[in-house]
Amino acid sequence: MDEAQCLAYIKENPISKQPEAKRREAELQNVASELTIQSEVSTSGKQTELINPVKPSTQKRTGEKTKKEALEQYRQTFLQVPKIDDRKPVFVSCHTRDRLDEIVRRLGGRKMSVSGLIENLALHHLELYGEDIELWRKL
């Protein structure tokens, strides 16, 4: 399923009408589609640490201060340079790699890399869905 099909599916199936598992899958797809290259990035206003992750808000932000706060929260969550001791290769499509690289170059610091962004995204995902994954593993 490509990105356009994912977006069409999400529009046809509002999150409020889906079972919990499908709702979360749709949210993940929505988050992935929101990682487009923009100068402004919207995230939930309360997301500051991986320990207390909050799902992204679908509301549009209008205030300049709110946009800057959201960008700073996004940077704190996903654009901090991680320390990766034991590296392993991960493969993504060229298109995805280019989009992530553009985000890192525009929004990240000097030492930030696509590998670091992917590490942070994966850690955030595992923190957010870790308990559910353990339950699903036991099914």
pTM of structure: 0.54
Determine the Cα angle at 28 with ends 23 and 33, to 5°: 120
Residue 63 banded pLDDT, cuts 50, 70, 90: confident
Residue 43 burial (C-beta neighbours within 10 Å; 0-12, 13-18, 19+): buried
pLDDT average, residue stretch 85-95 = 95
Report how far residue 91's alpha carbon sits from residue 60's, in angstroms, rounded to the nearest whole number: 33
Q: What is the pLDDT of residues 36-52, one digit of tens each?
A: 433 333 344 443 334 44
Evaluate whether 58 touches 88 at the Cβ level (below 8 Å).
no
Average per-residue pLDDT for the chain: 75
pLDDT at residue 2, rounded to an integer? 62
Report how far residue 137's alpha carbon sits from residue 53's, in angstroms, rounded to the nearest whole number: 22
Report how far residue 58's alpha carbon sits from residue 34's, in angstroms, rounded to the nearest whole number: 10
pLDDT average, residue stretch 89-104 = 96
Residue 60 banded pLDDT, cuts 50, 70, 90: low
Report how far residue 126's alpha carbon sits from residue 46's, in angstroms, rounded to the nearest whole number: 19
| Of 12 and 50, more confident | 12
pLDDT beyond 50 at 53: no
Residue 24 banded pLDDT, cuts 50, 70, 90: low
